[in-house]
Chains A and B, each alone.
Chain A
Amino acid sequence: MSNLIFSVMTQSLTFLPLSLAISISYSILRATDMTLDGSFVLGAGVFARLITQGCSPPLAGIIALFSGASCGMMVSLIQRGGKVDPLLAGILAYFILVSANLAVMGKPNINLLSQTTLLSSAFSISELTGWSVVACYSIAICIVTCLAINSRFGLILRGLGDNPALLQRLGKNIETYRLAGFAFTNLLSAASGCLTAQTVGYADIGMGFGMTLTGIGAIILGQQILRFFIKKSAPRIVFEFTACLIGVFIYFLAINGLLRLDINPVYLKMVLGMILILFLRTAVNPNLSRNVT
């Protein structure tokens, strides 16, 4: 049992920053940003490339984060003035990133197994120490994200997602905040990619494929479950982020749990989908009003 929980926790820790990015993009900015898949790989790729070129791990990490942020700015500029639909802008940016990632990495796969990274010294002591450091990084990112979203900046981002026209009438430059919002979400995605590359030992051009969809699924799952338990109104950000944590944990618990039940991995996703459908059908009460402020 402890092995199962440990596996679930370790997978959830590296996925958490990405899920927060998806949550902010989907729930707060009200835009399904497909660029996050590409930023995830870019963060991993930039970090891996710099490490193999002899750059110090902290500097490589910071540059990786900024590279993710620049992707977000790119997608925001594509959408500028409302001329391109956000979903389409994300997809177009993703296409650009497919080539950009390959150009940055130089090859589709960069091996990090024998490189000194931010986590290598911790993992060389013991696995528990290594994952404790990963947890520290992940929790620190979550805390910074929560503080940012609970600040005035976060309030304006929420306004941007809910009612951009009102925000504009209040004299706020919505393009600047959109730029900052997408930069922030893609920075989180790059952070997740960076952490993941160090824990799996490589950066690969295909490692981001399907991550956004998985994240959206996990977040909605968490929201549905949380709505069942929270009957009264809850502060929106607390609700969203808690739902994020719950959804990610349940998703990885389901995958790892079904594997341990010896379900053939070929049928695993079908079984997982059916279980989640059953779960949600009984969890969701359509009569409950949306209980967030």
Chain B
Amino acid sequence: MKPFIKHCIILLILTGLMACQPEKSSQPKIGIIVPLEHTAMKEIVAGFSETLTNLYHQPVYIKVANAQSDNNLQRAIIQQMRDENYTMIVPIGTGATEMSLAIVHNQPIVSLAAKLSEHDREQRNPCNVALVRDEISSKKIIEFIHAVYPTIKNIALIHSAADKVFPEVNETISIGKQYGITITHIMAATLPELTSSVQSLPRETQAIFILKDSLIVSGISTLAKAASERHIPLITSDQGSVQDGAGFALGVHEKEIGVAGAKLASEILLGKPACALPIAEMKTLTVFINKKALFGETQNEKLISDAAAKFGYKIEFTDSTKKV
């Protein structure tokens, strides 16, 4: 028999096997959709899985599916979870959440780190989504930077075209003006553009600032090197970038997003409707400090600690060698 026909038959048998997959045990099935491979995503998933295991004292099957920034793959994953009657779907990020909302109508959705409003939730019929939002107010960040460095007047804000950060850029710039800070924004849509963006930073730049931006954070070592050469602080908005070389950040533990999501998920598993649960906001801010990076940037760690104490923020020292 021709090999090609043989392979067709094998494929048909496989397809039949797919259709005849025995049902997994009756334990609840939860599908977590991770849009791309990133340390922050891993921490969110870890926070969610560990907390849910502790809160919901029964066996739960958790499947983590990585869409690898591929919309077609993401759609296939969501459709599979819907068709296999997953008890709950947990998308991370705005794109994954919106796609889940478009495809899944009957199963509850716990959205993590997405930019969705109460109004969006109320529009749903039936309403089947609970939200965990992780946005940090730009005002708080600029206020903190100003408290640490009251004399700084020029900051370069480097960002990508990600939907998460783009709307915050203008807000950050206008808040900067309130504190007498001129914030120059530089967009790098891809990592190669980041290198040339960093090399063309305005001469009067006194600090480099980045929002919670996965693309830019991927290139943090480039920014850290530039900050070190210019002896200016590199200020970020997430813990991971401080571990990778930024001086300090005001942000939240990524794991806490997962923890908050797990709390909502356990309530839903216990029978509460998703829409009845309030939107969870990340309110506890932490100042992450990398002493080694600050030393390289010739910055004073005490200024940051004093400002953190003034605002009542917890301080956490992270090290380049230690990864969460």
Contact = CB atoms under 8 A, between A and B. Distances in A.
Contact of B79 (A7, A107, A201, A261): A7
Interface stretch (B91-99, B240-248, B303-311): B91-99
A144 B316 CA distance: 63
Nearest to A279: B7
A255 interface: yes
Given A114-B119, A200-B99, A256-B80, 15 more contacts: A11-B76, A11-B79, A107-B166, A109-B95, A109-B98, A111-B120, A200-B98, A200-B102, A201-B99, A202-B95, A253-B15, A255-B73, A265-B73, A268-B73, A282-B4
A111 B77 CA distance: 20
Chain A interface size band reads 35 or more
B102 A199 contact: yes
Interface stretch (B60-68, B139-147, B227-235, B274-282): B60-68
Nearest to B83: A3
A6 to B, nearest CB: 8
B59 interface: no
Contacts of A98: 161, 189
Contact of A205 (B65, B72, B124, B161): B161
Nearest to B18: A260
Contacts of A113: 98, 101-102, 120, 123-124
Contact of A269 (B7, B68, B79, B161): B68
Contacts of A127: 105
Interface of B: 2-4, 6-7, 11, 14-19, 21, 37, 65-73, 75-77, 79-80, 83, 94-95, 98-99, 101-103, 105, 115-116, 119-120, 123-124, 161-163, 166-167, 189
A205 B80 CA distance: 25
Contacts of A114: 119-120, 123
Contacts of A214: 72
A200 B80 contact: no
**SS class of chain A's interface: helix, strand, loop or mixed?**
helix
A6 B324 CA distance: 41
A206 interface: yes
A266 interface: yes
A265 B166 contact: no
Contact of B68 (A200, A261, A266): A266
